[in-house]
Amino acid sequence: MTLLEICPSLRAGMSSPRLDSGVWPCDTHYDDLGRVTLGGVALSDVADQYGTPTYVLDESEVRRRCRAYRKHFPDAEIIYAAKALMIRSVAAWVAEEGLSVDVCSAGELTIALAAGVDPRRIVLHGSGKPFAELEAAVAAGVGRIVVDSLTEITLLAALATRPQQVLLRLSPDIDVHGHPAVRTGVTDQKFGFPLGSAQATEAVERILRQPMLHLVGLHCHLGSQIHDADFYGEAVRRMIAEMARIRREHGIRLPQLDLGGGHAVAYRGGDPEMSLPVLADIVEDALDAACSLHHFPRPRIAVEPGRAIVARAGVTLYRVMTVKHVQGGHTYVIVDGGMNDNPRVALYGARYDAVLVNRHPTGARMTATVAGRYCEAGDILAHDVILPADLRPGEVLAVPCTGAYHHSLASSYNGVGRPPIVAVTEGRSRPLIRRETPADLLARDLG
């Protein structure tokens, strides 16, 4: 099924070179003035009302993505990886759509609980969980804790006064060839235990010796931006073989297999992305084959998408501050945001598009580099994008596909506070997170 079939409204956008149906939210249109609208709201009106830079979030798109996961994985548990974007509204939306929530700190746990997420549907992750965070999680009654080290087993055993379900994180030695910063399925990295290693066996034994710790399954996370579903098929085969070995050696049958997240989204038109129907088929086939090979009863599968739920629902708005044509060099469009609200370009070499949204450009176009306002030469938002040649200061640019790992990675470098998040849906906008102000910066500064 193509995206155009899922969201026919995109057809309008297809007629213009400005919007690529692969990266914008489904409910993106033009109004009569040629302005780009999202969720029925003109983006330039959002910029006028809330200032810039501003993260805009399309609630319907978040819900649509949750439903797509539930449709394609009807028997699986879908766990939203909150690190992609954790604010109360998003936690509430995904919970309403039937998803569980994965948190990786006491802060994310607090937000999930404040949003009303049932603690039993919360999974706690982390490679170095502080004692106080484990304590908070156990006290809150979180459903499962993913054990990442031997130390953690000792701490949890000391903390749990009632049965606590745990998953054991293993690295199945699958190299998805991603950016080194986000390649987690290989053996030599900091997360979990290498599958088949003596430490993994020791971890299983230690958990089983603790009466309050109930080992309910295995977990793995292969990495980020994975578009080839075969990697997950291979993970299923290796993890089921390990579950069969644990049954043989320890006499317990684990009922859950969590395959982590990492499903790719397209940041620019033409980028490869994970196909949910293909992923579902491959996981299903691998599960059938591996379970029958090992005569192992099918565990319940869990997947942990973060980016694939929220990335496309987000668009960031910037105002053009100035346009500089460097003689013999590039044309720089300098905007009022940058690496504080989007560090992904500097961190991972991510590539984005940028589009003028306050009018429909009809004249000549230019190739430009959209650069930020911060005091670093590497503060770039988008390389080599096509923009109108008559672009002027004060106009509004939007960068699509910024819903995941933007707000959650944002900083207040150079004393510039983090942008607000404004939700748009059914023709209305409402602020979910307010802009961080100099007063907020001063409030933490004890002098």
Instruction: List, by residue number, the catalytic residues.
Output: 375
Q: Is the Cβ of residue 84 or residue 174 nearer to ligand LLP in the bound state? A: 84
Direct distance between the N- and C-terminal alpha carbons of the chain, in angstroms, rounded to an integer: 58
* Dihedral Cα 300, 301, 306, 307, nearest 10 deg: -150
Cα-flanking dihedrals φ and ψ of residue 365, to 5°?
Answer: -120, 165
**Residue 446 has which token pair?**
């004890």
305 is in an annotated binding site: yes
**Smallest distance, Å, CB 335 to ligand LLP?**
20
User: Which of 240, 233, 343 lies closest to 296, judged by CA?
Assistant: 240
Q: Which residue shows structure tokens 């909150």? A: 82
405 is in an annotated binding site: yes
**Smallest distance, Å, CB 286 to ligand LLP?**
19
Q: Is the Cβ of residue 47 or residue 174 nearer to ligand LLP in the bound state? A: 174
**Smallest distance, Å, CB 350 to ligand LLP?**
7
Provide the pairing of β-strand 122-124 with 36-38. Answer: unpaired
**Smallest distance, Å, CB 168 to ligand LLP?**
13
- Return the H-helix or E-strand segment holding 365: strand 365-371
d(CA 400, CA 56): 10
**Smallest distance, Å, CB 379 to ligand LLP?**
17
Q: Is the Cβ of residue 35 or residue 125 nearer to ligand LLP in the bound state? A: 125
Q: Is the Cβ of residue 25 or residue 305 nearer to ligand LLP in the bound state? A: 305
Cβ-contact 156, 131 below 8 angstroms = no
Q: Is the Cβ of residue 263 or residue 418 nearer to ligand LLP in the bound state? A: 263
d(CA 133, CA 122): 14
d(CA 125, CA 92): 20
**Smallest distance, Å, CB 16 to ligand LLP?**
29
Q: Is the Cβ of residue 30 or residue 80 nearer to ligand LLP in the bound state? A: 80
Residues that bind ligand LLP (CB under 6 A): 81, 83-84, 102, 125, 182, 221, 224, 260-263, 304-308, 344, 348, 404-405, 409
348 is in an annotated binding site: yes
306 is in an annotated binding site: yes
262 is in an annotated binding site: yes
Expressed in percent and rounded to 5, the helix, strand and coil fractions of the chain are 35, 25, 40
Indicate the annotated binding residues for substrate: 307, 344, 348, 376, 405
Indicate the annotated binding residues: 262, 304-307, 344, 348, 376, 405
Indicate the annotated binding residues for pyridoxal 5'-phosphate: 262, 304-307, 405
